[in-house]
Amino acid sequence: MAHISSDEVLENVRKASVYYQEIMLQLMQNSSMQIPTSFYDNEKSQEIASKVVEQFFEHPEKFTHINLTYIKELQNLIADSVAKFTGGKSEDPKGQEPFFDKRFKDPAWGQSIYFDFIRKYYMLSADWMKNTVRQYDLDIDGKRFLEFTANQFIDALSPSNFLFSNPEVIRESLESGMSNIAKGMQNFLDDIKKSGGLINISTTDKSSFHIGKNLATTKGKVVFQNELIQLICYKPKEKTHAMPLFILPPWINKYYILDLSENNSMIKFLVDNNFQVFLVSWINPSKKLAHKKFEDYLQEGVIQPLEFIKTLGFDKVNALGYCIGGTLLSIALSYYKSLRHPEHKDRPAARDNNIINSATFLTTLVDFANPGEIGALINKSTIDYIEKQVTEAGYLDGKYLSNSFSLIRANDLVWSYFVNNYLLGKSPAAFDILYWNSDGTNLPATMYIYYLKNMYIDNLLKNPDALEMLGVKINMTNVDVPSFSLAAKSDHIALWQSVYDGVKLFRGDRTFCLTDAGHVAGVVNPPISKKYSHRLSNKIENNSNDWFSNATLHEGSWWNSWREWLVARSGKLQKSMNYKALPMIEEAPGSYVRG
């Protein structure tokens, strides 16, 4: 270890102090960095607090066993730690068991009596709090909010998040003469200045990525555009399958999650496997598009580009929708099917009612009965506040939604970077998925509020004819084309059981696939990575657990199984379209994705 002089230590402490003062000044001057009290200090929060206190005093027996167990386990932990300290033998049966929490990967958490006690005391207290919260009898929204709040509190108080209780941080501070703390303060200040509002912790080295240079580089061109989308046609191989693939990414984020670096680009994978690919690139809307409705996304994001594709000589397409893009695809399928009814025979789009040959849904919710942990933030109690804020701005700022999703996995996406950037004073590594995740997209106010109220909160999409788009009643039981639906086992945004419940609403030939990992890593899983197995079955059981028990386990990426499924529905290989003759607005990735 290099010798650190006292002058160097004092200089680092001085720097940290200066940065700290400027940080506090920034926080006090910028009101947008503060969480509005109206979001949590509302009638629902007061009702939950009242019920919690009432139930605790009315039924103390519900909590007695939990508290007695906690006290007994704490006494055992203290006795065991004292025995270890005095050279005695550990009586803790779990003392030598391995632990796999990434927060405690440093060897000192197990080797040091002090840090071992801190870790176990924290885990013991966390379990006590979770068990206590489970005892309260609340409605669904109340229970989600209480559990979410408790989990945020537990995650924030992890000893790994504090200077004097994290062995790695202490060791780094001693070895560097506190330069890590000075650098961490500087990183914190930089993030505050870059954020301009709600603080965004840097999760990747943004300087390492450039759209069109090392992201979204698959060759293609924009061949059609309107106010909401640019349609990209990718340069095909010499031969392609007769039926092209039309892709609807989520407009909550930018499309290039499907075209990241060369080794994990789904678009490149499809082109290399002889598919003609068309993809929708959504605009990043400003206030001038605040009026755009959900049905505008149907009209401009699906109907118009499909009409254009048809002018190129393709009578049918296979379609893919990811996340909310899949929700829109399911609506489009119902819409087209309803156009077959005689009352709609004179509508221009009626002639295209058979254009979608098959549908692939990636982590798509259609039944929103259980939206997962995000339901703690989006519910009947918070919708008035959300609507007021979004309506005033004209759009939802993409970074707020990104931060909300990060809180669902706070240990991985918030606190791990808090420790790395601010306590260890390091810079985050370059990671393409996290760069994409930080490249937020706004949502038009009218569309967003409609989506929250009618789908997330009232769950009307699953009810036949409860919603209407472009003058047509929407009914999910109309969706009868062959479908391949993917869910991810560790997805916190679209729970796999909820995705499965939506698939049960469809008819026709249905295949359900469950991959490992989460909402993004589970989808972006190229065969070359040899990560994550998947389960597959075309027998849709009434219960998701029954499906899981009967589905076939496959090693490796789900992309391979899906490719086989798609090939069987895409027609024979034939000479590709005359790509060179296509009119071009601009080269891919286009201008909308850069907004």
- Using omega within 30 degrees of 0 as the cis cutoff, is the peptide bond preceding 589 cis? yes
- List % helix, strand, coil for the chain (3-state, nearest 5): 50, 10, 35
Could you identify the residue written with the tokens 């006690």? 117
SS3 269: helix
Q: What's the number of CA atoms in the CB half-sphere (13 Å) around residue 170?
A: 11
- Both tokens of residue 176? 């560097």
Buried b (16+ CB within 10 A) or exposed e, 575-586: eebebeeeeeee
- Among the residues of 157-238, which ranges form H helices? 167-176, 179-195
Q: Cβ(514)–Cβ(562) under 8 Å?
A: no
* Strands 483-488 vs 510-515: parallel, antiparallel or unpaired: parallel
Neighbours of 91 (CB within 10 A): 11
Q: What is the DSSP string of 378-421?
A: SSTTTHHHHHHHHHHHSEE-HHHHHHHHHHHTHIIIIIHHHIII
> CA–CA separation, 206 vs 195, rounded Å?
14
Q: Could you tell me which of 342, 241, 309 has the C-alpha nearest to residue 572?
A: 241
Q: Is the dihedral of CA 28, 165, 16, 172 positive or negative?
A: negative
What is the token pair recorded at 107?
Answer: 């060897």
Cα 70 from chain centre: 35
CA distance 409 to 162: 19
The residue count for the chain: 595
Looking at residue 103, its amino acid is R
First vs last C-alpha separation in the chain: 48
Q: In whole angstroms, give the CA distance from residue 485 to residue 512.
A: 5
The catalytic site residues sit at 323
